[in-house]
Amino acid sequence: MASSFVRGLKCRLCGKMYPVSPINFCEDDFGPLEVDYDYEAIGEVISREKISLRPKTMWRYQELLPLEGEPTVGLQVGGTPLVKADRLAAALGVEKLWVKNDAVNFPTLSFKDRVVAVALSKAREFGFTTVGCASTGNLANSVAANAAAAGLQACILVPADLERTKILNTSVYGARVVAVQGTYDEVNRLCQQIADRYNWGLVNINLRPFYAEGSKTFGYEIAEDLGWRLPQHVVSPMAGGSLIGKIRKAFWELAQVGLLEETPVRFHGAQAMGCNPITEMVKSGREAHRPVRKPNTIAKSLAIGDPADGYFAGKVIRETGGWAEDVSDAEISEAMALLAKSEGIFAETAGGVTVAVARKLIEQGRIPRHEEIVLCITGNGLKTQDAVVEQLRQPVKIRPSMDDFAPLIEEVGELALV
Ligand SMILES: *Cc1c(COP(=O)(O)O)cnc(C)c1O
Ligand SMILES: [Zn+2]
């Protein structure tokens, strides 16, 4: 089932083609490069039936991913649930709502396992033995775990002020972790220099065109689980601004290769107020973002002040008739608790951003209450527990006696007595 459908890398600004290699920028205009496929040829070999017979992982859409041979890293990634969220829908005052839940993606509980599975499989095709990344946390976890499982060396750079859990969840896999005293954007610039100096496969630097393709599988799974059709609204969190555009590309590709009929989907972008370069750009009607120099939010996984795909994310939102909003830290933690209480899904801060922004857009009338909505939940709350602590009631302490227990129930009257 090897994929020979890749025609090369194509500049997203000028369209210039490059051969498949570990590069990420066009030499003429510094435009980002993107994988270019022969969709006609893919359309001839792919079918719903064929896909449905394959294991429920991201690799069931392998023809639409940029590997030459079989995947060798992250074989079990993807296939996460699309949850019909009726209780959250009631709380938000809408009728048809789904949660695409990558909080339970294997192996590191975020959608980053999808991009890393592609990037590290590609790194092996290129012959790299050391891999790495610049990360706001989840990517670090995923590169470290998947590299360990694949027997690759990993060197990972993160901002020094990251949540303790995200650092621990990287170090545990034996990766070399470097905590840089600076913002994510400074970490990222350092990583670009590292890529120039060492022969390493840095997943979101020189492997970025391949890495980014992994996000498409989040979109393919939404469409397949809806019965091979598209929702009317998607609300996606944005950090570098890549995921939102890749979900749109995924929907478009499924139509290109004849797997579904394309219907209009509005894409809405979600950020935190403390780091909102893309939402601020959309709301003020500009086509270029103003970088946020010092991000300040509990949603650290989204804290990229100078997003690489900010321009393209804005374009997706404008072209599809969607909108963008940002929310406060208080709204984020409250929405994390709401999602947990209504659907039993504990998402990280980025999930709180998505739910809180969805609520805002519904209240503004930007998302009509009777239309179909998919919320993108991209990471797990167990990694950002401090963000929700203040929302929770402390357990009541009692002695092991009915004299202590019964008054709690009978006087407060919160639990129904049978
Ligand atoms: C990386 C990340 C995102 C956003 O990804 P981009 O493609 O950079 O916009 C969203 N949610 C979580 C939890 C992430 O780790
Ligand atoms: Zn170019």
Q: List all residues 6 or more positions away from 397 whose beta carbon is below 8 Å from its beta carbon.
A: none
Summarised one tens digit per residue, pLDDT across range 205-218 is 999 999 999 999 99
**Rounded average pLDDT over 294-302:** 95
- The model carries a pTM of 0.96
Q: Name the burial class of residue 193, with classes exposed (0-12), middle (13-18) and buried (19+) by CB atoms within 10 angstroms of its CB.
A: exposed
Summarised one tens digit per residue, pLDDT across range 3-35 is 579 999 999 999 999 999 999 999 999 999 999
Closest C-alpha among 384, 377, 388 to residue 103: 377
pLDDT above 90 covers a percentage of the chain that reads 92
Query: Is residue 118's pLDDT more than 80?
Result: yes
pLDDT above 70 covers a percentage of the chain that reads 98
Cα–Cα distance measured from residue 254 to residue 354, given in angstroms and rounded to the nearest whole number = 25
CA of 302 to the centre of ligand 1 (A): 6
First to last CA, the chain: 58
Number of the ligand closest to the Cα of 143: 1
Domains of the chain from N-terminus onward = 82-108+213-391 (3.40.50.1100)
Query: Is residue 157's pLDDT more than 60?
Result: yes
pLDDT at 1: 46
Q: How confident is the model at residue 71 (pLDDT cuts 50, 70, 90)?
A: very high
Q: Is the CB of 350 under 6 A from ligand 1?
A: yes
CA of 25 to the centre of ligand 2 (A): 8
Summarised one tens digit per residue, pLDDT across range 129-154 is 999 999 989 999 999 999 999 999 99
Q: Is the CB of 242 under 6 A from ligand 1?
A: yes
Query: Is residue 292's pLDDT more than 70?
Result: yes
Query: Is residue 417's pLDDT more than 70?
Result: no
Q: How confident is the model at residue 415 (pLDDT cuts 50, 70, 90)?
A: low
Burial string for 294-323 (b: 16+ CB within 10 Å, else e) reads ebebbbbbbbbbbbbbbbbbbbbbeebebb
